[in-house]
């Protein structure tokens, strides 16, 4: 890693009054450079809390949009304008409007992995950590529309006993992890605890000891005496787990579970985004993310309702280096 590059980033960060936020799936060097690491909502809340004027959001577009929904007065930069989330793109606002017409009166719960337009059409937002609590809080005499991830939705159905109207979306990174992967890893590490993300398929979750969001994984391992864990989520998650627990062994359930969009962010692109603040100067570099006000206000309501239902939610974004 070029010291010069890091120095330039630090200098510009200070000049621009910027902070760098990195998702748990980001490349290791980006997590190490970031001021804060965490899951998407933790980082958006961190973005809203900080005094910084500029947020460099190292993640994918819907995450930067969520930060823009919560902090419209700040400049939100996504260091690669093409870093999208195929799961979030699996439903459009128009498709959701049609679904709502087919099921009038059904409340809509959308996973935070969705566009700002889809959030604006939803009644409640949720994360993988609180989806069960959000659905549990809704009246039992109503159908509930749940978008866009079918695997998280089925997990919520099982935990709540509620029947949801599921959209057939999925994360192509998590469905790559197979039942065979878990069986093979368990055969090799019979004492290891298996942790799976709710976006994994049902057979993978059935073979797991704990089904957890990325933030919950960190918490779970910290409070466990186990010394080996098989981790069924995007492989970037191994880095914060190792940093927090240097004497524990972590095994990726599948080395194929790599999100190409998360890995589009590089140190150079962070530098360029701080240099030009727009993303126009260098091909593939940053975009300044903003959400039109009428969409932002509606999307904000869905996020606020989630926080009202789940006030016990506590962000556990970590200051880089303070594992």
Residue 171 touching ligand SF4 (CB under 6 A) = yes
Residue 87 touching ligand SF4 (CB under 6 A) = yes
Q: Give the integer Cα–Cα distance in Å for 108 and 99.
A: 10
Which residue, 25 or 36, is less far from ligand SF4 as judged by CB? 25
Which residue, 52 or 237, is less far from ligand SF4 as judged by CB? 237
Which residue, 16 or 61, is less far from ligand SF4 as judged by CB? 61
Beta strands 287-289 and 75-78 are antiparallel
Q: Where are the alpha helices (DSSP H) in 103-213?
A: 116-120, 131-136, 150-160, 179-188, 202-206
Identify the residue among 68, 173, 207, 241 touching ligand SF4 (CB under 6 A): 173
The residue range among 31-39, 45-53, 166-174, 187-195 that interacts with ligand SF4, by the rule CB under 6 A, is 166-174
Q: Assess contact for 108 and 123: CB atoms under 8 A.
A: yes
Which residue, 97 or 172, is less far from ligand SF4 as judged by CB? 172
Which residue, 123 or 234, is less far from ligand SF4 as judged by CB? 234
Residue 66 touching ligand SF4 (CB under 6 A) = no
**Least gap, CB of 261 to ligand SF4 (angstroms):** 5
Which residue, 52 or 317, is less far from ligand SF4 as judged by CB? 317
Binding mask 231-270 for ligand SF4 (x = CB under 6 A): ---x------------------------x-xx--------
The token pair at 232 is: 């069924």
The residue range among 50-58, 168-176, 247-255, 305-313 that interacts with ligand SF4, by the rule CB under 6 A, is 168-176
Residue 41 touching ligand SF4 (CB under 6 A) = no
**Least gap, CB of 172 to ligand SF4 (angstroms):** 6
Q: Give the integer Cα–Cα distance in Å for 253 and 126.
A: 26
Q: Which residues contact 156 (CB under 8 A, 6 or more apart)?
A: 131, 132, 135, 146, 162, 164
Which residue, 40 or 285, is less far from ligand SF4 as judged by CB? 40
The residue range among 81-89, 123-131, 277-285, 308-316 that interacts with ligand SF4, by the rule CB under 6 A, is 81-89
**Least gap, CB of 74 to ligand SF4 (angstroms):** 22
Q: Assess contact for 221 and 245: CB atoms under 8 A.
A: yes
The token pair at 23 is: 């998702």
Tell which positions 263-322 bind ligand SF4, by CB under 6 A.
none
- Prior bond of 247 cis (ω within 30°): no
Tokens 């005499």: give the residue.
Answer: 141
Q: Assess contact for 63 and 43: CB atoms under 8 A.
A: yes
**Least gap, CB of 51 to ligand SF4 (angstroms):** 28
Binding mask 174-213 for ligand SF4 (x = CB under 6 A): ----------------------------------------
Distances (CA, A) of 315 to 98, 138, 146, 318: 34, 23, 24, 9
Residue 105, Ramachandran bin (φ over 0: left; ψ between -120 and 50: alpha; else beta): left
The residue range among 79-87, 247-255, 267-275, 285-293 that interacts with ligand SF4, by the rule CB under 6 A, is 79-87
Task: List, in sequence order, every beta strand (DSSP E) within 207-317.
Answer: 210-211, 228-232, 249-252, 287-289
Q: Give the integer Cα–Cα distance in Å for 130 and 227.
A: 27
Residue 86 touching ligand SF4 (CB under 6 A) = yes
Burial level of 241, CB count in 10 A (0-12/13-18/19+)? buried
Which residues bind to ligand SF4, rule: CB under 6 A? 25, 60, 85-87, 113, 171-173, 234, 259, 261-262
């Amino acid at each position: 890693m070029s010291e010069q590059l890091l120095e330039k980033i630090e200098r510009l960060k200070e000049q621009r009054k910027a902070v760098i936020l990195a998702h748990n799936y980001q490349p290791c060097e980006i997590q190490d450079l970031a001021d804060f690491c965490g899951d998407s909502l933790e980082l958006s809340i961190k973005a809203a809390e900080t005094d910084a004027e500029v947020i460099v959001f190292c993640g994918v577009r819907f995450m930067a949009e969520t930060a823009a929904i919560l902090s419209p007065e700040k400049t939100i930069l996504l260091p690669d304008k093409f870093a999208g989330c195929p799961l979030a793109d699996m439903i459009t606002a128009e498709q959701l409007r049609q679904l709502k017409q087919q099921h009038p009166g059904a409340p809509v719960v959308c996973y935070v992995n969705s566009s700002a337009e889809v959030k604006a059409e939803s009644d409640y937002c949720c994360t993988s950590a609180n989806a069960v609590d959000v659905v549990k809080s809704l009246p039992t005499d109503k159908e509930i529309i749940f978008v866009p991830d079918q695997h998280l939705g089925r997990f919520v159905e099982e935990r709540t006993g509620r029947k949801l109207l599921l959209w057939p979306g999925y994360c192509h990174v998590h469905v790559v992890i197979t039942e065979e992967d878990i069986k093979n890893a368990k055969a090799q590490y019979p004492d290891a605890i298996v942790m799976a993300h709710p976006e994994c398929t049902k057979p993978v979750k059935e073979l797991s000891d704990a089904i957890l969001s990325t933030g919950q994984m960190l918490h779970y391992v910290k409070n466990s005496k186990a010394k080996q864990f098989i981790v069924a989520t995007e492989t970037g998650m191994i880095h914060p787990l190792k940093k927090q627990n240097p004497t524990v062994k972590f095994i990726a359930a599948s080395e194929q579970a790599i999100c190409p969009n998360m890995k589009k962010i590089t140190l150079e692109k962070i530098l360029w985004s701080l240099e030009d603040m727009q993303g126009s100067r260098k091909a593939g570099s940053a975009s300044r993310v903003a959400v039109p006000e009428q969409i932002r206000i509606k999307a904000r309501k869905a996020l606020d309702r989630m926080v009202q239902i789940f006030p016990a939610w506590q962000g556990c974004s970590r200051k880089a280096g303070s594992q």
